[in-house]
Structure 1
Amino acid sequence: MGTATTENWDREVDVIIMGAGAAGLTAAIVSKNEGLEPLVLEKTDQVGGTSAWSVGMLWFVDSAPMQAAGFKDSFDKARQYFARTVGTSVDRSLQEAYILKGRVALDYMLRNSALEVMAVDYPDYYPELEGGMFGRAHAPLEFDARKLGQHFKNLRAPLPAFAPFGGMMLDLVDLLHFLSFTRSLRSFRHVMKRFLRYGVDRLSYHRGTRLVGGNALIARLYKTILDRQINIWLQSSATRLIIDNGTVVGAEVFRDGRTIRIRARRGVVIATGGYPGSREMRKEHSRKPTVELGLGLPGNVGEGIRLGLSAGGRIDHNSEDTGFYVPMSVLSNEKGDEVLWGHFMLDRPKPGFIAVGKDGNRFTNEAASYHAFTLGMFDAGAIPAYLIADAATVKKYGIGVILPGSLSLRRYEKAEYLFSGRTLVELAGKLGVDPSRLERSVARNNEFAATGVDTDFGKGSSAYNIYKGDPTHSPNPCLGPIERGPFYAVKLMPGDFGTSRGLVTGSNGEVLDRDNRPIPGLYACGNDMNSPVGGHYIGAGITLGPALTFGYLTAMSIAGNRQAEVDSNANIPSSSTSKSRIA
């Protein structure tokens, strides 16, 4: 408690932005470009948040990059797709804001920052539905981290899965070349070129400087932050919001071992990345059984959302699914550390893989999106599930953390990451799976592999499935036989890479109270706001696309707020004439 007079402020800025992920950095860049003074607070010692760990895709409708690449899209098509996938689980105005303003936000950032993207020939996750199509996924162009100079060390490193060999980043094209480098001279040259660049980098840098995916996205935004001389305070976090007469006017910030009071003349933006690191909030808001594994930043424990609630905000409860899900496997390495692997696309959709539950039965389409596959685990009670393949398939495609062509699998078996059996019955015994049903599931898969049609779950029946399969395999890129032992399995558990339930906002990111009224001076974006697609996952980039869009809309709303401001040298009315409190 206390009066909110200017003598009590340690610093004043126009906008306080909590979090240095894609949403927060976008809000900061737009604020600065619109003539405001932003201050970014990042509680860790590096920028990027979970965004830096991501693949970096952004989902937009009918954007300039899409038009340049020849993709034919429209707002009406996108509305049809949202109607079939998102439905009424999210307020229509929020959906409309994303559909209509996403490309505006992207165009703004392409003109006013170092961001560069290309629309890629990648399908929506349900392209067979009305309004679904290819081309809405946008990939950031690779970035040379040497341009960051000494600040490169402040950029969060990618997950090891995206940067093997101690820090060499690989994109999808690189991965495809790695899969075939022993069979193709072109791929061999590509791989050698990547190793050469990486080797030169490591002579001077702590990791490779060729950045792709989410690391490239964040690096481009961070480069703009540095060029525009926007203040980012690392290892600094807001602990309380300061509220005067119902308006959020600042925050208490813990930095360098002490608490300081910062006034925000225009507004406070919450963009702290949701609550993937909070077991308590996951238990409260996630599906049951609670998802235990996650690729989200462990330090994102929902402080931003809790601050929003303390100021009178509320959380949306319309959507059953509150995370962005992916099946995961866990390898305990020699040091006792756990390596988490998300089974996004490199094994499940390929020919020669099936997934079964403890009963030995298949339960869903293995080539469905990672989110849909995990929902299949929930719906069938297939927790854990097991990914099954034979030796030839594992050698060709790898499985989980195991790379294609691996010469020895013994260490993975010793770590009880990989299970093997000379026969399916022996494998079933090690897994505790019904052996007769496992044999029947494999036999049925082999029939489908021969005909090219999966009559049980439709694996390989959609454009999205086929995109994820092996284009060199026929008659179906996603269906292959499981024939000769030894047979292998990896245990799958449900996981996620972010949370989607957050503060209810208006279409410009303004946090709404329990009466659906905006709380003056308070905004949220990124995974701290309730997702415009709710708990649905409809296409690649459906987390980062909204992050950029609502980071932009939030900042533009704050910049356009022409309400009378109190001069920075004048006192805000004291508690004797106004209700001033700290939330």
Structure 2
Amino acid sequence: MITAQPNPQGALACRVLSLRGPLWGVPAFQHPFARYAGLPTGRLANVELTRPGSVMVNPSGRRFVNEAQNYHDLTKVFREVDPANGVPRHAPAWLVYDGGYQERYPVAGVPRGALPEWAVSRPTLGELADACGIDAAGLAETIESFNEDAARGSDRAFARGDSVADRHLGDPSLGSNPCLAPIARPPFTAVPVHAATLGTCGGVLTDDHGRVLAPSGEPVAGLFAAGNVSASLFGDCYPGGGTSLAAAVVRAYAIGAALAS
């Protein structure tokens, strides 16, 4: 938040908030013992989910989302709850990949060719499923169907790799669809994927000049806000990478112009 000068109305203005519920979601890996400031922390998983030779499955062994779509919308799918038991449908989720993927790409900050110490790796998909508590029949059917689509370069289930945005983090060296490759070479590995957050979409309300608005709707003299401390211009939508940064820069420019006038 940018404050041009001390103002006693600031505390009142900060009670005028918007978009307090939505958040910027992201799929993440979490080392069981990783901590930041004493709290659990993790690493973004969206790059690994996009690359060919992998899928993300739920406990039923089924894919449930286009793994290559933007991380914010992907994470929303984790909210689904089974009405029969009130339990989230897709937790725990697992990134499943084969030996070829392991040789090509780093995972969760571990160099390619190596495995995260909390990963599960087995010589067969059946053994992997048993070790992770994944339904073995469901996983086998998922991988068989996915491999057929990968060979054709077209994902019938979720259209993974069809859009330019999907392909941005893919690997074009492997074929016509940079997000698809068969999962066939042992060993087979699974790493847990969690729904995480980068921050909230909400904050204080501002006008077009970045002035913080009081409960009356009038601007608070001398109080300005830009970036994620203010309510997002885009609500719960994710137009693309760097959107919140771009909005912050534009709003900060508007604030500078307002202060100079």
When normalised by structure 2's length, the TM-score is 0.87
**Is the contact made by 2:7 and 2:223 (CA closer than 8 Å) also made in structure 1?**
no
Deviation per CA, 1:306-361, whole angstroms, max 9, x where unpaired?
xx5534641114x86x222211111146999866211132x211111100111211
**Is the contact made by 2:93 and 2:194 (CA closer than 8 Å) also made in structure 1?**
yes
Bigger helix share: 1
CA distance in 2: counterparts of 1:367 and 1:311, whole angstroms: 40
Deviation per CA, 1:128-175, whole angstroms, max 9, x where unpaired?
xxxxxxxxxxxxxxxxxxxxxxxxxxxxxxxxxxxxxxxxxxxxxxxx
CA distance in 2: counterparts of 1:372 and 1:334, whole angstroms: 26
Aligned length: 252
User: 1:445 corresponds to which residue?
Assistant: 146
**Is the contact made by 1:389 and 1:489 (CA closer than 8 Å) also made in structure 2?**
yes
User: 1:494 corresponds to which residue?
Assistant: 195
Partner amino acid, structure 2, of 1:394: Q
User: 1:344 corresponds to which residue?
Assistant: 46
Which structure ranks higher in relative contact order (CA pairs < 8 Å, sequence separation ≥ 6)? 2
Q: Is residue 468 of structure 1 aligned with residue 169 of structure 2? A: yes
Q: Is residue 401 of structure 1 aligned with residue 109 of structure 2? A: yes
CA distance in 1: counterparts of 2:33 and 2:17, whole angstroms: 39
Q: Decide which of 63, 85, 97 is 1:389's aligned counterpart.
A: 97
Identity of aligned residues (%): 31
Q: Decide which of 67, 71, 74 is 1:373's aligned counterpart.
A: 74
User: 2:136 corresponds to which residue?
Assistant: 435
CA distance in 2: counterparts of 1:420 and 1:323, whole angstroms: 33
- Structure 1 runs (4+) deviating above 3 angstroms are 308-313, 332-339
User: 1:12 corresponds to which residue?
Assistant: none
User: 1:556 corresponds to which residue?
Assistant: 257
1:124-523 to structure 2, matched below 5 A, reads: 242-243=7-8, 248=9, 308=10, 310-311=12-13, 313-317=15-19, 322-332=22-32, 340-345=42-47, 347-379=48-80, 381-406=89-114, 409=115, 412-413=116-117, 417-523=118-224
Name the larger-Rg structure.
1
What 5-or-longer segments of structure 1 have no aligned partner?
1-15, 19-37, 40-240, 249-307, 561-583
Deviation per CA, 1:458-494, whole angstroms, max 9, x where unpaired?
0011111122211111132111111132210111111
CA distance in 2: counterparts of 1:316 and 1:464, whole angstroms: 29
CA distance in 2: counterparts of 1:496 and 1:465, whole angstroms: 20
CA distance in 2: counterparts of 1:425 and 1:309, whole angstroms: 59
Partner amino acid, structure 2, of 1:316: S
What 5-or-longer segments of structure 2 have no aligned partner?
82-88
Partner amino acid, structure 1, of 2:55: I
When normalised by structure 1's length, the TM-score is 0.41
Deviation per CA, 1:224-264, whole angstroms, max 9, x where unpaired?
xxxxxxxxxxxxxxxxx642xxxx4xxxxxxxxxxxxxxxx
Deviation per CA, 1:490-519, whole angstroms, max 9, x where unpaired?
111111222211111111111123332222
